[in-house]
Structure 1
Amino acid sequence: MKKEFSRVLLKNQSDEILILKDRPDTWNFPGGKQELGESALECAIREMKEELAVEITELEEIFTGPLVFDSIVWQGHFYFAKQAQGKVTLNEPNKIKGVQFIKRFEEVNFSPGLAPLFDYLARSDYLKLNKTNWK
Structure 2
Amino acid sequence: MKETKRQKLDALEMKCLGSMGDVSRLNRIRNEVVRMRVGVIYELAARADMNVLRGFCSVEKLENGHLLREVTNARDNGRCARGRPRCRWMDGRKKALGDRRINVREAIDLTGNRNSWRAIVTPYCYFTTDVAAIGDSAYEC
TM-score calculated relative to the size of structure 1: 0.24
With a CA cutoff of 8 Å and minimum separation of 6, indicate the structure with the bigger relative contact order.
1
Between structures 1 and 2, the one with greater helix share: 2
Structure with greater Cα Rg: 2
